[in-house]
Amino acid sequence: MKTVLMSGGSSGIGKAIRNILTCNGYEVFNIGRNDAEIVCDLRDTEALEKKSQSVAKNP
């Protein structure tokens, strides 16, 4: 299974893209400030790196 790490997948065009990817067999992890698998502010690079590594180790 292919994995996608994306931001902006909570609404609008990003949500539509996320749905298409999921329907095509991709495992999608969304990064966002509120409604996401990885809840993080993209400006906080240290927190983002830690949370992304956590998802990579425990999909």
List the domain range (segments joined by +) for residue 53. Answer: 3-57
The whole-number average pLDDT for the span 49-53 is 86
CA distance 52 to 9: 16
* Tally of structural domains, the chain: 1
pTM as predicted:
0.78
Kindly indicate the confidence band of residue 59, based on its pLDDT and cuts at 50, 70 and 90.
Answer: low
| Predicted local distance difference test score (pLDDT) of residue 35 | 84
The whole-number average pLDDT for the span 43-57 is 85
List the beta strands (DSSP E) in 1-59. Answer: 3-7, 27-32, 38-39
How high is the mean pLDDT of the chain? 89
Per residue in 6-24, pLDDT (tens digit) is 999 999 999 999 999 999 9
